[in-house]
Structure 1
Amino acid sequence: MAWLSWVVPPLLAVVVGLETNAASEKLPSWVHVSAWPVLGVLTVLSIAVEFARRRKRDGRSDEARLSDAANALAAAVASQWSRELSGLLAGRALPQPWSTTGRPVLPPAEDVLGPAPVEAWGGLRRLFRRVRAGGSGAPVIDVLRRAAIRGDLDFHGDVDDLAALLPRLPHRQVILLGEPGAGKSVLAGRIALALCGKRAEDDPVPVLLPLSSWRVGEESVRDWIKRRLRADYASPDVERLVDADRLFALLDGVDELPPGLRIEAIRLLGASGLAMLVTTRGREYTDAVRTSRSVPAKALVVELRPIGGADVEKYLSAGLVDGDPRWVPVFKRLRDQPDGALRQVLRTPLMIDLARDRDPDDLLGFTDAERLEEFLLDGVVPAAYPGDRKDKAGRRLEFLAGHLRSQGTFEFAWWKLHRALPSPSRTVGIGIGLMAAALTSVAVWLMVLPTVAGAGEAVALSLAVGCVAGLIVGSLASASEDHEPRRITTRMRGRRLDLAARLGAGAMRGTALGVVIGVVAGVVDTADLTGPALLMGAASGAVFGVAYGLVGWLETPADLVRAASPAASLREDRTTKLVRLAVFGLPFGLSAGLVLGLVAGPRVGLLDGIGAGLLGVVVGLARGPHVWTRFVVARVVLALRGELPWRLMAFLGEAHRLCVLRANGGVYRFRHNLLQDRLAGGLPRKKAAEPVPARSPARSRTRRAVTLTLIVLFSGTGLGIGLPVAGGLQAKCGLTPFDRDIRYLRGGFTYECVGVTDGAYDFSGDGTGISKLIESQNTAAVTGSGSYVRVAVLAPLAPRTFDSRQIRHALRGVYLAQRRYNASHSLKVKVLLANEGSTQAHWAPVVDQLVRMSREEHPLVAVVGLGASTRNSVASTRTLAAHGIPMVAATASELRADGLFQVTPPSSEFAAALRRSWTGPAPEYVLTDEPSDGYVESLRKEFVSAWGVPEIRNGERRDLPGCPAAMLYAGRREGLIRLDDHFAAKCGLGSVTIGSVVTDLSWRTPDRTRSRLIYATPADPSGWSKAPESAPPGFGDFSKEYSGQFGEPPGDVFALLHHDAAEAAFAAIGAALGEKTPKTIAEVLRTVGVNGATGTFSFNRNGTPARKPIPVLTEPGRAPDRHPYLTR
């Protein structure tokens, strides 16, 4: 079926071209002209690149590829065992003498040595050009020569001798026997390292493999070796070395196989014809041979000899101070009782090494060898984890040992940890399903559900969809097959054509998939069967396909042998998994975010793009593989059960550093099998639980088809619903779906309409009349004979920070200033209403609009209002200042930026005014309320500085010390209302005096008079209306104009402050732009005098008002402040 890769890309290109033509009625004409030529070029390039890639891949000779694979494998083996044996070889290593076994398991000498004449052993004479010092005392060459002449098998030597002998034997087969702890695995590793060091170009490559992973009877020896090479060394050509007999197999641990399989394993190994060294325990091998009554006919059988007493004494005394007497009794016992328990135990490297870490006196108290061995093994964990850690570490290591023993293996592979779970497949499926359910629920919540239903229905629907997704993904994960870890590689050498081919094929196939998704979306979206969904599907599919092709090129099987550590292989697979999830998530997120951002604004695009990206991640979770995610589930479950630590890999890494475990590439093993068996106790062993055989190609294709179908349906349905809903968002604001000025954006769990209007749109829902008045002024300014500029009222124009009454009054004040200015100036002002959201949270897109307007014809030249002094307003003023747009704040008093001027005095002036006019008992403390924004913090600081009293933060009413005679409050209106009610309930009406700064006292009605309130305020319209003689000069005219226009007096400070802010900006515009030599508006604002409704004032160098009156009032029984404090 390889021809499909040549035929499918052109067919896909044709399909994409047809669909593009069909869906491009509204596209520019150049698209029709260029679409087909571009697609044709892409098709030709795709075929050419694929042809070049195959020709390059197939052009190399088999011999060259085999040589490259052999050299790469030899380098990996040498690196692996250099790293593993570095500690042993760097220190004082115990000798490992060996000799031909004396057990009745030897085949005839002529079968092992073959019919070769004596002269054929001349190579051995040159090879063994040395004389051993110690040991047998005879040159090895003499031994070999006698064996050849007499036809016997009397061989002996050390590790180097065995490494030299192996490739010289006619059949290159050796079986190495040894008792538990004798160092068989270490010797095999040293032989592998020695053979790699002496290897010529065409010599076989030594590879050490644990026999415990062989499924005896289910696969041949060669098939098993190929499988392990594929898994451990991650090379497509390395398994071909087995068929070419370019491999020297070092097979460790026949005794690690279940007893019932050992005889069959020995028979299959003997019949395999492989060059090999097989290690096993002597007794188990003897029993198997006795039972089968046959031996491998061509294998030399050698056995590790006990380590001599002199070598034991040298090793145990190494590193001690000369004359140290502690080991003298032990050495004496070894010499005096050569058959005693101590000498029987201290015959193997393992026990000798363990004994070195124990108190010598403890070794003399045992008369039974088995008890002494158990004592030495039991001391490994306490010696590694002293103090309180030994119990917890011991329990965890016992669990790990028991798990490995129950699995019939001595290797801990982190990617198989899920097998330690109860019902592994079901538990993993539940865990990954819960991940998918949580991600889907969050994604749905972020996207469309909160826009079409109430909060309760949105939660219910998101949970329902999440549950369905969790069931689907969990079922797929539960039924998926095991995989080996993967890694990401960015090596370009020799892979450029492969990269180009994958990207080209991915783009073609991804575009076709996107077209199908677009068709599904168009069918679902019955309100619009035109081209947007189709084009969006094609575009996102192309992005998806390119990204998927890139990941296919980046991702390769992990080299578990070259891995620096198991933790390193885990990090590589985790990175691979995250990249795969990103490949699924980013195309969905980017395409949805871009389209919905254009339709409903950048904030909606961002949030819905995140939601769509999360849905893509869910698709990635469903597809797998699940190596890292399975490990995460298993680690969490086992940690919750208390069987393994949360930081499992850190714990295993520490155990490796403490020599409790040893690392072999990407896997861990206990220091010795005896230690694992001792920690595991009496748990039964079973046959190794290897991964199930690979599923049939037909089943894999079916699974891929099902996954692809789910992706198409899931994506198309989401796109089909998302596009019309995005238009519905705009309809909620009463606008067209593609309106760019007013947008429906999410704020917390609710949505609101934000943006910029000329008055045609009413954000608050309670000020339609004033919005229409501003719109009429703007229409007159635009249609008149003169020119005009624009000024924006940037504020929270939807109720929350300000209520509807305050918003309405503020806009009335701006309107009066605009009408008065336009009536007397040829350069008109068009007022824009810029709503940054009820909590000012959506300031960013609105400010971006204003910045763009400052560069257009009839530019935006100033901004007034600016809301309250919050973190959001600080950010918005800094952004406007960075673009050189002058600002006049109305109610905000604690904003600081270049080009910013404030009508309301700063907190320091309010505190000074309140301090000057204070009457009655002195305040006992300052209460700071939440939210602690810039205004609250500034007011708190000034109160503490002016009165020198302690402070209580965060408004914890229950912690207030009793009923104070007087106190100061730094906070906003809502907190002051709660504080007033608190003192009334706890202390009685009128018993506490509260000092504060208040801009609106409309809530303080006669039936809500609780405490005595002394407060400073930026204006007193009610008092000034009752006592005109105490009012500022400009208030009277403003009050008459206001009452005449709106039929009521100005009831709060919002109308006055916003009027004065607009008045200041308009005055500066007239002075700056009306002159022959225009000045900047900011320059004029620094010098202009404002005859405002709240007083006649100018601005200081820092933008604060100078000579501005601050009334200080008392409730109840308020009287006008006839001698108000004047700001500096």
Structure 2
Amino acid sequence: MIKKIADYIGKIGIIFIKSPIGAIKFIINFIAINITINSPVSPCLSDEKPKQDLLQLVQDEVNKKLNVFPYHGELIILKKNLHESLVKHTDLRKEPITDPDYNIFDIFNYKDGAYRKLVIVGEPGSGKTITLYELTQELIKEAKADENKPIPVVVDLCSWKKDKQSMREWLVEKLSHKYKLEKQLFINWFGERKILPLLDGLDEVKPEYQQDCVLAINKLLEEINPPQYLVVCCRIEEYESLIRNNDYSRLNFFQAIELQELTVQQIHNRLKYMKLDRIWQIIKDRGHLLKLLCTPLMLSIAIEVYTKISDRELNQFNSSAKLQPYLFNQYITIKLPHEDIPVRDRDRNIDTTRWLIWLAQNLKRRNQKEFLIEEIQPDWLPKYRIIYYIGVALILSLFSFIISILLNHIHIFNLTFVYYLVSAIIVLSIAQNPSISIVESFTWTNWSFRQVKWVWIISLFAALCLGVVNWINNGIVAGLKVTLITAIVATIVSLPTGFTGVERPRKTYANQGIIKSCKNAVIFGFCLGLISTLIGILIGILIDLRIDGLLNLLKVDAILGIIVGLMSGLFMGGITCIQHFILRLILRWNGLPWNFTLFLDYATQKGFLQGIGGSYQFMHDLLRDHFATQLPRYQNKVQ
């Protein structure tokens, strides 16, 4: 890395001797090559490539989701009942489906697609999400075969909340963030009715927002160019409670289906297929056990832990509500044993259990399903927020002190004044957005003068003050020179703060955002530092600026270049890295792993989490909820 930078500096020096302007162009090209800077999407360009990319991304997601849990053989075809009372049934002439063994795609296409605005409801663990992804898989095949068919996209509603955004705007933002494609593409596709939203988890929307969420979905269907088709999944109890309280909370769809419990015969057939007659003999005459295993999820869990189930223990449970936590605990014990294993492995499993509890509780509290390492925010540790801010402030103060020393070294700035000035600029930039913002790539169209305004105004005011001080002490010429230098430095440093960092690159590995933010900070700092040095030399030559000769001029410009590089690096990803480092330090102090990726991958390997790109989520919401309700005995320091 050092050799590479030295080579670039050598090239820049040679080019600068021949043409100073050429050297600046060389540096700008270097930035363009090494940092992702997004350009706006041109409506004239074909969107076929992004469409194919999106289809492939959805296909990859479906493939992982359908292998998300050990269902032990082919997925059971769930019986389905029509539940017309759950929707506003806008067309009573449609003939009802009478065969409960219809698969979901057959129902969706029934009567030439008359049911393509569909609500899927069922009990927890009944297979709603799996059914939704089965439908998505068939719709992907349809979209690949016919380019006029809309692209199916699955969106979790859990993070929806009432604000000024319409449902269409919220979906555009959510899909752009999820699939890392430009917002404008999704805006265009929605306008052309080329997107088929499949909305999962209406029941996971905060209760106070659920009614508004339904109204927003209904309003989406009344807009100009609404989606041709739409599917929503929800737990039956929550949806019935919603419409019981307010009849306006019915979705304005054509039909609703309810996924039925597994029949006794289906349970028997699956256990027989798995050669688990022993389990069947235990449960066949126990109604509460059959009741619990009537969902695909719990049947799969029971099959997974059958070696740990004893008749004596099962007889202690007289209700499915008590048996479910027992089965989950047995599943955890099998995957993360604490006994009869080497001490090192035991400690690792105990830690993993504790960390999974912490992760589940935080995801549950924030109404989130997906977890990305780089998206951990200070509010994940509310008790230590003050310590976090103090830690960030100390490191940034160190940078301010270094910059102040450098400025003082050229004898034209007051050390104390500059220290407080630089600190104020940095604090002001963080105060605008106290959360950790990933600076992974940039978009020219989202450059905002509003973002820059106050940092730039304060910097220019400081330049004017320093110029006046030097005018009084050293004369008008010296004052003008200092004002010019500091104004240029202030402008160069403040301009990058107007970029909006956007997470366009698709996540392919954990913590990708922080790693790229760090890379951008180094590249931007290095390149802008060089540019400012070259500009300073040019200005010195043009206006005959001299401070005791050429060597002093070069020294001043080099110091100013270092300062601009440090400041630019901080604003273009450095502050993000510092914030994340302090947060991770506090998490480690509280008993969480320093190598988060290792923990997440281990939990994925053990069957608790599922990794998609750089994000992770629990295999099932019920498993997450079980971890979230565990007793504090596992938690030790983690809070």
With the length of structure 2 as denominator, give the TM-score of the two structures.
0.71
Q: 2:280 aligns with which of 312, 324, 331?
A: 331
Structure 1 counterpart of 2:260: 305
Shift of 1:204: 1.3
The farther-off stretch of 474-483 and 269-278 is 474-483
Unaligned runs of 5+ in 2: 1-17, 26-38, 222-226, 338-345, 448-458, 541-546, 632-639
Alignment partner, residue 130 of structure 2: 186
Task: Report the secondary structure of 2:86's partner residue.
Answer: coil
The Cα offsets for residues 700-753 of structure 1, whole Å up to 9 and x where unpaired, read as xxxxxxxxxxxxxxxxxxxxxxxxxxxxxxxxxxxxxxxxxxxxxxxxxxxxxx
**d(CA) in 2 for partners of 1:59 and 1:622?**
29
> Which of 29, 50, 60 is 1:79 aligned to?
60
Q: Give the C-alpha shift of residue 484 in structure 1.
A: 6.3
| Contact residue 522 and residue 534 of structure 1 kept, 8 A | yes
Q: Is the 8 A contact 1:251 1:277 kept in 2?
A: yes
Residues 592, 350 of structure 1: alpha-carbon distance in 2 compared, 3 angstrom cutoff: farther
Aligned to 1:348: 295
CA contact (8 A) 1:81 1:189 kept: yes
Paired residue for 1:100? 81
> Residues 59 and 297 (structure 1 numbering): CA distance in 2 closer, same or farther, change over 3 Å?
closer
- Corresponding residue for residue 396 of structure 1: 355
- Counterpart position of 1:675: 623
Structure 1 residues 380 and 166 mapped into 2: Cα distance closer, same or farther (>3 Å)?
Answer: farther
* Structure 2 Cα separation of the partners of residues 541 and 83 of structure 1: 49
1:277 match: secondary structure: strand
Partner of 2:587: 638
Matched ranges for 1:63-78 at <5 A: 70-78=51-59
Give yes or no for the alignment of 1:369 onto 2:323. no
CA separation of 1:539 and 1:270: change in aligned 2, threshold 3 A? closer
The residue that corresponds to 2:430 in the other structure is 477
Aligned to 1:378: 329
Q: Could you tell me which of 172, 186, 191 is aligned with 1:226? A: 172
Compared CA separation, residues 657 and 682, structure 1 to 2 (3 A): closer
Corresponding residue SS for 1:412: coil
Check 1:246–1:166 CA distance in 2 against 1; reply closer, same or farther (3 A cut): farther
For residues 608-648 of structure 1, the C-alpha deviation after alignment (integer angstroms, 9 at most, x for no partner) is: 94785256433553577965554333222222233x32222
Structure 2 contact 514–576 (Cα < 8 Å) conserved: no
2:245 maps to which of 279, 291, 297: 291
1:433 aligns with 2:414: no
Q: Take 2:598 and 2:420, find their aligned partners in 1: how far apart are those partners?
A: 34
Question: What is the SS of the residue equivalent to 1:480?
Answer: coil
Shift of 1:212: 1.2
Letter matched to residue 285 of structure 1: Y
1:215-254 map, 5 Å: 215-216=161-162, 218-232=164-178, 233-235=180-182, 236-254=184-202
Equivalent residue runs for 1:33-44 within 5 Å: none
Distance of aligned partners of 1:439 and 1:537 in 2 relative to their CA distance in 1, 3 Å threshold: closer
Measured in 1, the distance between the counterparts of 2:363 and 2:401 equals: 38
Match of 2:378 in 1: 418
Structure 2 distance, partners of 1:84, 1:572, is: 28
Cα distance change on mapping 1:625 and 1:544 into 2, 3 Å: closer
The more displaced of 427-436 and 160-169 is 160-169
Task: Give distance in 1, aligned partners of 2:429 and 2:607.
Answer: 40
Cα separation, 2, equivalents of 1:100 and 1:645: 47
Q: CA deviation at 1:401?
A: 1.8
CA separation in 2, counterparts of 1:84 and 1:628?
Answer: 32
Counterpart code for 2:356: L
The counterpart of 1:266, out of the listed 214, 220, 223, is 214
Secondary structure, counterpart of 1:248 in structure 2 = strand
User: Residues 87, 407 of structure 1: CA spacing in aligned structure 2 closer, same or farther, 3 A cutoff?
Assistant: closer
Query: Deviation digits for residues 999-1021 of structure 1, max 9, x if unmatched?
Result: xxxxxxxxxxxxxxxxxxxxxxx
Q: Give how far 1:655 is off.
A: 2.0
The DSSP-based 3-state class of the residue aligned with 2:382 is: coil
* Alignment partners' CA distance in 2, 1:241 and 1:363: 55
Q: Deviations over 1:1068-1095 (max 9, x none)?
A: xxxxxxxxxxxxxxxxxxxxxxxxxxxx
One of 161, 169, 176 as aligned partner of 2:120: 176
Q: Looking at both structures, which has the greater relative contact order when contacts are Cα pairs under 8 Å and sequence separation is at least 6?
A: 2
Alpha carbons of structure 1 residues 589 and 432: separation in structure 2 relative to 1, 3 Å: farther
Whole-angstrom distance in 2 between the partners of 1:353 and 1:180:
14
CA distance in 2, matches of 1:84, 1:105: 27
Q: Give 1:181 shift.
A: 1.8
**1:514-561 deviation line (CA, Å, top 9, x unaligned):** 99999987666554837987997899899989x969x97xx973247x
Task: Give % identity.
Answer: 19
Query: What is the CA distance between 1:201 and its match in structure 2?
Result: 1.1
In the superposition, relative to structure 1, how do residues 167 and 152 fare at CA in structure 2: closer, same or farther (>3 Å)? closer
| C-alpha separation in 2, matches of 1:237 and 1:261 | 28
CA distance in 2, matches of 1:353, 1:569: 36
1:795 corresponds to:
none
- Written as runs of structure 1 = structure 2, the 5 A alignment for 1:101-250 is 101=82, 104-105=85-86, 107-108=88-89, 111-112=90-91, 115=93, 151-154=95-98, 156-157=100-101, 161-162=105-106, 165=109, 168-170=112-114, 172-199=116-143, 200-216=146-162, 218-232=164-178, 233-235=180-182, 236-250=184-198
- Does 2:508 match 1:564? yes
Amino acid at match of 2:220: S
Matches within 5 A, 1:991-1010: none
Distance in 2 of aligned mates of 1:558 and 1:306: 41
Shift of 1:586: 4.6
The answer to whether the Cα contact below 8 Å between 2:41 and 2:185 also exists between their aligned partners in 1 is no
Secondary structure (helix, strand or coil) at the match of 2:126 reads coil
Verify the 8 A CA contact 1:215 1:224 in the aligned structure 2: no
Aligned-partner residue type, residue 603 of structure 2: A
Closer, same or farther: CA 90–291 of 1 in aligned 2, 3 Å: closer
In structure 1, C-alpha distance between the alignment counterparts of 2:114 and 2:415, rounded to whole Å: 72
Alignment deviations for residues 978-1019 of structure 1 (CA, whole Å, 9 cap, x no partner)? xxxxxxxxxxxxxxxxxxxxxxxxxxxxxxxxxxxxxxxxxx
Secondary structure (helix, strand or coil) at the match of 1:411 reads coil
Extract unaligned runs of 5+ from structure 1. 1-30, 43-55, 116-147, 453-460, 490-494, 503-513, 684-1128
Rg larger for: 1
CA distance in 1, matches of 2:408, 2:195: 62
In structure 1, distance between residues paired with 2:352 and 2:326? 18
Q: Is the 8 A contact 1:159 1:190 kept in 2?
A: no
Amino acid in the other structure paired with 1:243? G
Residues 542/479 of structure 1: CA separation in 2 closer, same or farther (3 Å cut): closer
Q: In structure 2, what residue type is equivalent to 1:477?
A: I
Q: What's the CA shift string for 1:1027-1081, capped at 9, x where partnerless?
A: xxxxxxxxxxxxxxxxxxxxxxxxxxxxxxxxxxxxxxxxxxxxxxxxxxxxxxx
Q: 1:442 to 1:628 in 2, by over 3 A?
A: closer
Residues 472 and 282 (structure 1), Cα distance of their counterparts in 2 relative to 1, 3 Å cut: same
CA RMSD of aligned residues (A): 4.9
C-alpha change, 1:663 and 1:678, in structure 2 (3 Å) is same
Q: 1:662 aligns with which of 610, 632, 636?
A: 610
Equivalent AA in structure 2 for residue 189 of structure 1: Y
Distance 1:597 1:668 in 2: 60
Cα drift, residue 251 of structure 1: 0.6
Secondary structure, aligned partner of 1:250: strand
Equivalent in the alignment of 2:637: none
Query: What is the rounded CA distance, in whole Å, between the counterparts of 1:155 and 1:628 in structure 2?
Result: 57
CA distance in 2, matches of 1:204, 1:280: 23
The 8 Å contact of residues 69 and 238 in structure 1, kept in 2 or not, is answered as no
Matches within 5 A, 1:1116-1127: none
- What is the letter of the counterpart of residue 195 of structure 1? L
User: CA, structure 1 residues 175+664, in 2 after alignment: closer, same or farther (shift >3 Å)?
Assistant: farther
